[in-house]
């Protein structure tokens, strides 16, 4: 079974603190993603990465950065946490589309990290 592990299920931080959210996958997937999920807004893509040391901005990258030094690990960084970053953060991974028909691979999600910024 694919396993995507997020380091912390629940975090409480103060405004201005630096926050690291870690994600590790064990299926040798090339692609990794960070989403946040908020009521009424659904899942929104923050950053994604298709390879080690590669990163691309998603739809809401402001206030976030990422790091992918190893294939299995994708970290989300909040340089200076703010209250509007209180949310559920979901990491996901997938393999590239199949060469035969370019169908999209399944996204596998971690259990989520619920961050509260006071």
By beta-carbon proximity to other proteins, the closer residue of 23 and 81 is: 23
Please tell me the count of residues contacting other proteins according to CB under 8 A.
26
Angle, CA of 116, 52 and 100, to the nearest 5°? 110
45 binds other proteins (CB under 8 A): yes
* Three-state DSSP class for residue 83: helix
By beta-carbon proximity to other proteins, the closer residue of 62 and 102 is: 102
Contact indicator for 90, 34 with CB cutoff of 8 Å: yes
26 binds other proteins (CB under 8 A): no
Q: Which residue among 58, 60, 61, 63 contacts other proteins (CB under 8 A)? A: 58
Q: Which residue among 27, 41, 52, 54 contacts other proteins (CB under 8 A)? A: 41
The CB-of-34 to other proteins minimum distance in angstroms stands at 12
Helices then strands, counting H and E runs in the chain, come out as 0, 11
Token digits of residue 61: 């990258």
47 binds other proteins (CB under 8 A): no
Residue in 61, 3, 72, 67 with CA at minimum distance from that of residue 31: 72
């Amino acid at each position: 079974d694919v396993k995507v592990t997020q380091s912390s299920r629940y975090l409480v931080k103060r405004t201005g603190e630096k926050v690291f959210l870690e994600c590790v996958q064990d299926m040798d997937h090339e692609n990794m993603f960070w989403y946040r999920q908020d009521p009424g807004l659904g899942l929104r893509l923050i950053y994604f990465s298709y390879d080690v040391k590669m990163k691309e901005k998603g739809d809401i990258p402001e206030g976030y950065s990422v790091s992918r030094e190893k294939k299995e690990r994708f970290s989300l960084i909040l340089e200076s946490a703010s209250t509007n970053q209180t949310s559920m953060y979901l990491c996901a991974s997938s393999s590239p589309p199949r060469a035969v028909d370019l169908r999209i691979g399944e996204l596998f999600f971690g259990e989520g990290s619920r961050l509260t910024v006071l």
